[in-house]
Amino acid sequence: MNSIATRLLVSASLVLAGFVVLTSLSVRHSVHSRAEQALYDRLQGMVYGILGASELDSNGRLVVNEFELPDQRLLSPVPGMYAEVTGERGNRVWQSSSTVSAVPTIIPLDVGSWHFSHHNEKDKAEVRRLQFATNWSTKNLPDNVYYLQVVNDAAEFNAQLRDFDRNLWISLSLSALLLLMIQLLVLSWGLNPLGKIGRGLKRIESGESALLDNKLPVELRPLADSMNTLLQSERNRHLRYRNVMDDLAHSLKTPLSVMQNLPATNALDQSAPNHEIIADQTSRMQDIIAYHLQRASAQGAQALAAPLSPMSALTRLSSSLKKVYRERDIDFSFELPPTFMVRINESDLMEILGNLLENSCKYGASHIRVSTSRTDQHAMLHIDDDGPGFPAEHILELSKRGVRADSVREGQGLGLAVSRELMESYGGELGLSNRAGGGARVTLLFT
């Protein structure tokens, strides 16, 4: 997850999902507990009501006056609620006319004790049962223990709880979905300034703009100002470097030319022992100046350079080289897809490709092929020729300054060095190798 919006949305979704689950469980537990307590209180009220409607007759038997019962449903055969009174020995003293799916067995209790259970211990039928033990005594009769139990069929009660649970989950899920949509809108609105910075950088890359728009929230405005300062500073620094190198090289070139031409004007004795040393050193200084002039003319890596296709540079260079080496009839073939782009300044690309193509022509190639390949991270440009290839013993040193494999042909040995340094200034690489079928291969790796 490399997107800030995705990270925030996923995090908010997880937090919201956890909140919904915890809230649902908490509310469900609270409501279920309150419902159970309410049912217990209602059943307890029924027990007290039955006790209030009971009395002992003249024979000492417990009699329940059904007209005084707290709930007339006990007198109806409609199922749902049931009540009974039993004696200490398990004999049934009274029972209601109503029924339930299963009547739990009486449990012996101490006098004054209550017992509330959710299931019938015999067949696990879904019922709620409240049982109470009491004794009834008179002056003339001994104490008699009676057990009263009120049983409520739990089917309707559980159905109501299930309906509540379903409605609770639906309402909370819809609320969570609504909150996620609101969160998405908030994220889109809140992260829009960051997207604006990203779009501004793309405009700089494509050359549509030179600086970032600083009409941003106060938190991001310093970032945009700093990036604009960095971009402008980098451009100014590179311009100053080019100007200094160009001025220095041109300042030295004129007096060196005068020194180099002294033998031709007979200003120096041709037989002087230092004549060859002076000529050699001035020639070497000319080579150094030429090298730095080439570096000064190249623009080097620029921040957010716009991508371009090498095809235009290859076409122009091949046309020029065919004229220079027209007696050789060199064949150029370029196998570049239209979508192949590299991020480099056009003048630097011309410098690199010009050096490499000229080397191939200079060292006897009759066919030069340029192709491409690509990996996830890099774009590669391959220049193959059918020349003699690179000497194996020098292949690792050929791209160093002034190193040449052939001292017979004209040149300063700077082309590969300049090309390599330009590639490195863009974070790329220049690789040399020999092809299996003969000839040389130069690989330009662009990041």
The verdict on 54 and 71 lying in the same domain is yes
Q: Is the pLDDT of residue 247 over 80?
A: no
Q: Is the pLDDT of residue 278 over 80?
A: no
Of the spans 114-118, 290-294, 406-410, which averages the highest pLDDT? 114-118
The verdict on 282 and 310 lying in the same domain is no
Residue 280 lies in a domain: yes
Q: Residue 270: give the domain boundaries.
A: 210-297
**Order of strands across the sheet that contains 144-153:** 92-95, 81-87, 144-153, 126-136, 114-119
The verdict on 325 and 407 lying in the same domain is yes
Q: Is the pLDDT of residue 302 over 70?
A: no
More confident: 169 or 282: 169
The CATH number of residue 51's host domain is: 3.30.450
The verdict on 318 and 442 lying in the same domain is yes
The verdict on 344 and 229 lying in the same domain is no
Report pLDDT digits (tens) over 370-396: 999 998 888 999 999 998 888 877 677
The pLDDT of residue 233 is 81
For residue 57, with 0-12 CB atoms within 10 Å meaning exposed, 13-18 middle and 19 or more buried, which class applies? exposed
129 backbone dihedrals φ, ψ, rounded to 5°: -125, 130
- In the structure, what pLDDT confidence band is assigned to residue 403 with cuts at 50, 70 and 90? very low
The pLDDT of residue 1 is 64
Q: Is the pLDDT of residue 410 over 50?
A: no
Rounded to 5°, the CA angle 316-317-319 comes to: 65
The pLDDT of residue 411 is 42
Residue 62 lies in a domain: yes
Quick one: which of 321, 404, 418 has its CA closest to 370?
Answer: 321
The verdict on 325 and 422 lying in the same domain is yes
The pLDDT of residue 400 is 56
Report pLDDT digits (tens) over 128-158: 889 999 988 766 666 788 999 998 888 888 8
Q: Which of 263, 280, 297 is the last residue of a domain?
A: 297
The pLDDT of residue 101 is 66
Residue 43 lies in a domain: yes
Quick one: which of 61, 98, 55, 57 has its CA closest to 76?
Answer: 98
The verdict on 271 and 399 lying in the same domain is no
Q: Is the pLDDT of residue 112 over 80?
A: yes
Residue 58, both tokens = 């003249």
- In the structure, what pLDDT confidence band is assigned to residue 409 with cuts at 50, 70 and 90? very low
Overall pTM surpassing 0.75 (yes/no) = no
For residue 218, with 0-12 CB atoms within 10 Å meaning exposed, 13-18 middle and 19 or more buried, which class applies? exposed
The CATH number of residue 417's host domain is: 3.30.565.10
The pLDDT of residue 132 is 95
The pLDDT of residue 126 is 78
Contact 131, 151 (CB under 8 A): no
- Rounded Cα gap, residues 86 and 50, in angstroms: 13
Q: What is the 3-state secondary structure (H, E, C) of the chain?
A: CCCHHHHHHHHHHHHHHHHHHHHHHHHHHHHHHHHHHHHHHHHHHHHHHHHHCEEECCCCCEEECHHHCCCHHHHCCCCCEEEEEEECCCCEEEECCCCCCCCCCCCCCCCCCEEEEEECCCCCCEEEEEEEEEEECCCCCCCEEEEEEEEEEHHHHHHHHHHHHHHHHHHHHHHHHHHHHHHHHHHHHHHHHHHHHHHHHHHHHCCCCCCCCCCCCCCCHHHHHHHHHHHHHHHHHHHHHHHHHHHHHHHHHHHHHHHHCCHHHCCCCCCCCCHHHHHHHHHHHHHHHHHHHHHHHCCCCCCCCCEECCHHHHHHHHHHHHHHCCCCCCEEEEECCCCCCEECCHHHHHHHHHHHHHHHHHCCCCEEEEEEEECCCCEEEEEEECCCCCCCCCCCCCCCCCCCCCCCCCCCCCHHHHHHHHHHHCCCEEEEEECCCCCEEEEEEEC
The verdict on 98 and 237 lying in the same domain is no
Return the minimum-mean-pLDDT range out of 115-119, 175-179, 440-444: 115-119
**What does pLDDT average to over the chain?**
81
Residue 205 lies in a domain: no
Of the spans 59-68, 141-150, 182-191, which averages the highest pLDDT? 182-191
Question: Which residues, in sequence order, are CB contacts of 54 under 8 Å at separation 6+?
Answer: 62, 63, 64, 65, 85, 94
Specify the residue for token string 């609101």: 182
Contact 50, 150 (CB under 8 A): yes
Q: How many domains does the chain have?
A: 3
- Rounded Cα gap, residues 294 and 347, in angstroms: 11
The pLDDT of residue 333 is 94
Contact 442, 432 (CB under 8 A): yes
The verdict on 316 and 435 lying in the same domain is yes
The verdict on 375 and 312 lying in the same domain is yes
- In the structure, what pLDDT confidence band is assigned to residue 44 with cuts at 50, 70 and 90? very high
Residue 93 lies in a domain: yes
Q: Is the pLDDT of residue 327 over 80?
A: yes
The verdict on 274 and 329 lying in the same domain is no
More confident: 44 or 397: 44
The verdict on 15 and 101 lying in the same domain is yes
- In the structure, what pLDDT confidence band is assigned to residue 288 with cuts at 50, 70 and 90? low
- Mean pLDDT over 43-65 rounds to 86
Residue 182 lies in a domain: no
- In the structure, what pLDDT confidence band is assigned to residue 215 with cuts at 50, 70 and 90? confident
Q: Is the pLDDT of residue 334 over 90?
A: yes
More confident: 37 or 269: 37
Return the minimum-mean-pLDDT range out of 218-232, 281-295, 300-314, 338-352: 281-295
Q: Is the pLDDT of residue 252 over 50?
A: yes
Residue 165 lies in a domain: no
- In the structure, what pLDDT confidence band is assigned to residue 353 with cuts at 50, 70 and 90? very high
The pLDDT of residue 405 is 46
The pLDDT of residue 430 is 92
The percentage of the chain sitting over the pLDDT mark of 90, rounded to a whole number, equals 25
The pLDDT of residue 122 is 58
The pLDDT of residue 82 is 87
Q: Is the pLDDT of residue 436 over 90?
A: no
Specify the residue for token string 């009263």: 148
Residue 268 lies in a domain: yes
